[in-house]
Structure 1
Amino acid sequence: MPRVKEGKGKAKGTPPPVVVSLQKFLKTYEKHCAHSRTSVCPAIWRDLKSSITSEQSLRRFTLLRPDESPPGHTPVSLEPLLVTIREEHYTAGKELCIWGLALSNPEIARLSWLLELTGRTPCPLTTLEIINCKMDTWSLGRLGKALQFSGLHSLVLDYCRFGNEEIERIFSGLENNKRLQGLSLRYCGLGPGSGPRLGLVISRSAVCKLHLDGNDLQCSGALALLRPLVEYAETQEKDLPATAVPNTGSLPPPQKGSSTLSQIAKSSQAVTNKKCLIEAGPWLVKLHLADNGIDGHGEEGSLLEFTQMLTRLIKHSAHVQEIDLGNNTLGEKAAADVLRALRARKTGRLPTLKITVTPRISSDTFRSILKNSKKSNTTYRKKKKVRSRMSVLVSSIHQGALYSAWTFPGVGGAIGCRFHT
C-alpha cells in the first residue's frame, strides 16, 4: 500500500502532524458512519491505523464489503468516506478503490461531484477503481459526465457488467479526455458493437493503455478497434519525410544506415514518455484483448480481416509495445502471419513488441513468436524447468474469477492463461 513518509514532530513526545491529521480523519469518518447509520469499513480502519503507527500519509483508500456480516449488520457505504475527505481537506489521497459494493445514486453523485472539482478539490484523485460493483443507468450516466472534467490518470471498471446503454454513458464521458491514460474494462460484457465505439474513444482521448480481457468483442469488434490505430500509424509513417511527428519537433534528415521506421520509433517514444497526458489520438502503447472470442467461428473471412489489420499494426506502429491475445484461437495461418509481421518490425528497427498468443499452435511457430517478441518475466522464464506435459502453475481466486496458467515442455514459464468466471 503506497504511503508518503512524513517528518517527525519537533517537540519530544508530540505526535507528528501526519499522525494528528490521520487520527482526526479516523474520528471524523467514524462520526459520519454513525450519523448515516452505516458500518465503518474494516479495510479503511486498518489502513488508517497502520498509517498512524508508521507515521505515513495514506494515499490509497480501499473500500470493500466485509467477507462476513452478521444478520442485521449495517452495510458499508462510500458516502461517509467522501464526506470525510472533503471535510478534513485531506490532500494526500490519490487512489480510491471500491470493491464489490452496490453503489447508490447519492454515493455516485457525491463521487462525481468530487471528481468534477479537480483543481479546486482538496482530494485530487488520479486513480479510480470500481471493481465488481453494481450501478444503475442513472449512476453510470452521472459518472460519465464527471469523467469529462476529472483529473484521473487511470480508470478501472473491471467486472462491472454493462449493457449497451450503460457502456455508452461511460464512453461519452471518455471522449476528448486529455488526462486519462489507462482504461480497464475487463469482464464487463462488451460485445462486437463496442468495437467501433472504443475506436472512437481512443481516437479522441489520451488513453494509451487499454485492457479489455474477458469480453466478447470477437473478430468484428476487435477489427473496428484496431482500424483507427493502423490508419494513424500508416499515415504517420507515410507523412514523416514531409512533416514532423505531432508535438515532438522536426525530425533530423535520415542518417546513413538508419531507416525511416527507426526514426518514427525514436520520435514516438518521446511522445509516449513526455506527451502521454495531452497527446490525443488513435495510438496505444498497451492493448490487452485476451479471451475475447477472436477465432474463426464468426462470419466467413472475419478472422482473416482481423489478422491483416493486426499485422499492419505490428509492422507500422512505433507506439505499440505490448499486445495480449491470449486464449483467442487464431490458428496456425494467423500465427504465421503474426510471426512474419514481427520479423518485418525488426527489419524496420521499431521498438521490440511484447505479444502474447495462444499456445494452441505448432511449437515451432510459438517458439519463434516468443523469440521475436519482448520477453516477459511473468510469462516466460528460461530458468524454470518443466517436467510434466501440462501442469497447473498458478490457481487463485480473485473476485469470483479463477485464474489458471499452464506450462508446456521445452518452452518454460507460464505461456497460456485464462479467467474462468
Structure 2
Amino acid sequence: MPREKEGKQKTKGTPLPIIPILQKFLKAYEKHCAQTQTSVCPAIKQDLKTSINNERILRKFMLVRPRDSPPSTLPISLEPLLITIQDECYMLGKEICIWSLQLSNPEIARLASLLELKGRACPFTSLELIDCRMDLWSLRRLGRALLGSCLHSLVLDYCRFGNEEIESIFSGLEHNQRLQVLSLRYCGLGPQSGPRLGAIISQSSICELHLDGNYLQCSGAVALLRHIAEYAEMQGRDQPATSPPVPKSPPQQLQVRQKGSSTLNQTTKSPGAVTRKTTSGKERRKGIKKKMKDLTEAGPWLVKLYLADNGIDGKGKEGENGLLEFTQILMCLITYSAHLREIDLGNNVLGETAAAHILEALRARKTGKLPILKIIITPQVSSDTFKSIWKNTKKSSITRKKKKKTKY
C-alpha cells in the first residue's frame, strides 16, 4: 500500500513520464552550453541525473561556480539554462538559485524577460541571486521585471549595493503585490534605506523580511517599522476590550502557509460559506479559491523580521535618543501586532533599559492574548531580564501536555 501511494504522488500533476522529460532537458542543456561556448554547471547536471535516477521532478535549479575550477575552464553562464527552460517548455521548476557569478547584461535581460512572461512560460516563484555581481543597467532591468513577475520569494543576499543600485530594486518592489519573502542580508544598506523599505513593506504582501548584516542603525530601523507599528496599534485599539486583536484581510498565500495560526485564518471562512452546504455552492467556492490563489492584498503583514547585526545601539551619532525612539516603536509593534511571530535583534547592543521595555511589551502582548512571539536579543543584559524575556517567548509546558494527551 505505501508503494502505491508513493507512485500516485509522483505522477500527480505530471501527465507525461518524468524520466524522458529530464533526459531530453539535460541533452538540450549540454547542447546550448556547447553552442554558447560555456561550461555545463556540475550542480545542475548532478541534480538532473539524481532526479532521473529517483524518478522525481526537478523543482530547484542551482547554478553554482565550482570552487576548484582552473582559470582556463570555460565560464558558467545562466543563458544556456534559461534558453533550455524556454525551448523545452519546462514548467515544473519553481526555484532558481544563482551563487557567486558575474552576471552579464544579456543574461539578466533574458532572465527579466522570462520573469515578465509570468505563468505563461515562467514557472518560477522563487529567485535567489546570492553573492552575484551585476552592474547598474542589469539591476534596473531586473527591477522593471519585478513589477510584473509572479515571484513569491526574492533573495539578494551578499550582493553589495550602492544607493542607485538598491533604488533600482526598490522601484521594482514598490507596487509588487505577490512577493511574500524578501531577503537583503549583508547588502550594505544604510539608514537611508529604512524609509523606502518601510513604505514598501506597509503597502505590499511581504510577510518575511531578512535584513541581517546591514547598517540601518536606529534611525533606519525606526523608519522601517514606523508605519507597521502604527497600523498594528490602530488595529489593536479598534478591537473590543474583551477580545484579542484580529488582523484584517491577511494575504491569501499567507493563510495557506500559516494554517495553524487562528489569527491568520479569519478571512478564509465567511458566514455564507459556513451555512451553505449544497453541491453547487461547494463548486462555486472552489472556483473562487482557484481564482484567488495568486492574489494577495496590500498591507503590513509582517510575520518574521530579522534585523541582527544592524548597528542598532546607542553608540552612533543618534546616541541614546535614537535607541529610545527605536525601543518605543518596537514596543508598540510587539504589544499590538497579531501577525508578528518572530523578531531577531541579535548582535545589536540594546542595553538594559531597552531590554526591560521589550520585556514589558511581551507581558502586555501576553495580557492581550496575542500569539507567542519569538524574539532574539543579545545576551549583554542582566541575567534576570534575559531569562524573563526567554520565558515570555516560549509556550507553556501545560499547553504542550494538554496537546499530548489529546493525541492518545
TM range (shorter): 0.7 to 0.9
Pairwise mapping of residues 161-200 of structure 1 onto structure 2 (< 5 A)? 161-200=160-199
Alignment of 1:53-64 (within 5 A): 53-64=53-64
Match of 1:6 in 2: 10
| Superposition map of 1:403-414 within 5 A | none
Partner of 2:302: 284
2:264 alignment partner in structure 1: 269
**Cα separation, partners in 2 of 1:154 and 1:304, compared to 1, 3 Å:** same
8 Å Cα contact 1:262-1:348 kept in structure 2 = no
User: In structure 2, what is the Cα distance between the partners aligned to 1:317 and 1:361?
Assistant: 25
- Structure 1 stretches lacking a partner, 5+ long: 9-15, 242-253, 376-421
Query: Over residues 292-348 of structure 1, what are the superposed CA-to-partner deviations in whole Å (9 max), with x where a residue is unaligned?
Result: 000001213000000011011111111111110000000001000000110010001
Q: CA deviation at 1:260?
A: 4.3
The answer on whether the counterparts of 2:143 and 2:172 sit within 8 Å (CA) in structure 1 is yes
Give the match for residue 380 of structure 1. Answer: none
1:319 aligns with 2:323: no
Decide whether the 8 Å contact of 2:219 with 2:326 is kept in 1: yes
**Corresponding residue SS for 1:58:** coil
Select the residue among 350, 358, 361 that pairs with 1:330.
350
Deviates more, 1:366-375 or 1:160-169: 366-375
Q: How does 1:335-350 map to 2 (within 5 A)?
A: 335-350=355-370
| Residues 109/228 of structure 1: CA separation in 2 closer, same or farther (3 Å cut) | same
Task: Tell me how far apart the structure 1 counterparts of residues 90 and 227 of structure 2 sit (CA, whole Å).
Answer: 41
Aligned partners of 1:355 and 1:374 also within 8 Å: no
SS in 1 for 2:168: helix
Of 267-276 and 51-60, the range deviating more from structure 2? 267-276
Question: C-alpha separation between the residues in 1 aligned to 2:76 and 2:58?
Answer: 20
| Equivalent residue, structure 2, for 1:235 | 234
Verify: 1:156 aligned to 2:174, yes or no: no
CA shift for structure 1 position 5 = 5.9
8 Å contact kept, 2:247–2:339: no
Instruction: Please say if residues 206 and 277 of structure 1, whose CA atoms lie closer than 8 Å, have aligned partners that are also in contact.
Output: no
Could you say if the C-alpha distance between residues 195 and 317 of structure 1 is closer, same or farther in structure 2, counting changes exceeding 3 Å? same
The answer for the alignment partner of 1:147 in structure 2 is 146
Q: Which range moved further: 16-25 or 134-143?
A: 16-25
Write the distance in 2 (CA, Å) between the matches of 1:272 and 1:368.
Answer: 34
What is the CA–CA distance in structure 2 between the aligned matches of 1:23 and 1:35, rounded to whole Å? 19
CA distance in 1: counterparts of 2:210 and 2:360, whole angstroms: 25
Where structure 2 has 5 or more consecutive residues not aligned to the other structure, the ranges are 1-7, 251-260, 270-291, 396-408
Shift of 1:66: 1.0
Which residue of the partner structure matches residue 126 of structure 1? 125
Asked if the contact 1:262/1:349 (under 8 Å) is kept, the reply is no
Whether the 8 Å CA contact 1:181–1:277 is kept in 2: the answer is no
* Corresponding residue for residue 104 of structure 2: 104
Q: 1:386: which partner in 2?
A: none
Amino acid in structure 2 at the alignment position of 1:261 = P
CA-to-partner distance for each residue in 1:118-173, whole Å, 9 max, x for gaps?
A: 0211x310110100000001101000110011101100000000000000000110
User: Once the two structures are aligned, what percentage of the paired residues are identical?
Assistant: 67
Q: Which amino acid aligns with 2:313?
A: D
* TM superposition shift of 1:234: 1.4
Q: 1:71 to 1:267 in 2, by over 3 A?
A: closer
Aligned amino acid, residue 215 of structure 2: D
Shift in CA distance, 70/138, structure 1 to aligned 2, threshold 3 Å: same
> Partner of 1:210 in structure 2?
209
| Shift in Å, 1:235 | 1.6
Tell me, yes or no, if the aligned pair for 1:213 and 1:290 is still in contact at 8 Å: yes
TM-aligned CA distance change 1:152 to 1:273, over 3 Å: farther
User: What's 1:259 paired with?
Assistant: 243
In the alignment, which residue of structure 2 is the partner of 1:114?
A: 114
**Partner secondary structure for residue 52 of structure 1:** helix
Change (3 A) 1:317 1:163: same
Residues 58-81 of structure 1: CA distance to partner in whole angstroms, max 9, x if unpaired? 000000011112232100000000
- Root-mean-square deviation (CA, aligned residues, Å) is 2.2
Per the normalisation by structure 1, the TM-score is 0.79
Would the aligned equivalents of 2:33 and 2:39 in 1 still touch at CA under 8 Å?
A: yes
Q: Greater shift after overlay, 200-209 or 182-191?
A: 200-209
- Contact in 2 for aligned 1:232/1:283 (Cα 8 Å): no
Check whether the contact 2:91–2:123 (CA below 8 A) recurs between aligned residues.
yes
Structure with the higher fraction of residues in strand conformation: 1
Q: Supply the distance in 2 between the matched residues of 1:7 and 1:222 (Cα, whole angstroms).
A: 48
Alpha-carbon contact 1:115-1:150 (below 8 Å) kept: yes
In 1, Cα distance between the equivalents of 2:218 and 2:207?
Answer: 21
Shift of 1:175: 1.2
SS of residue in 2 equivalent to 1:38: coil
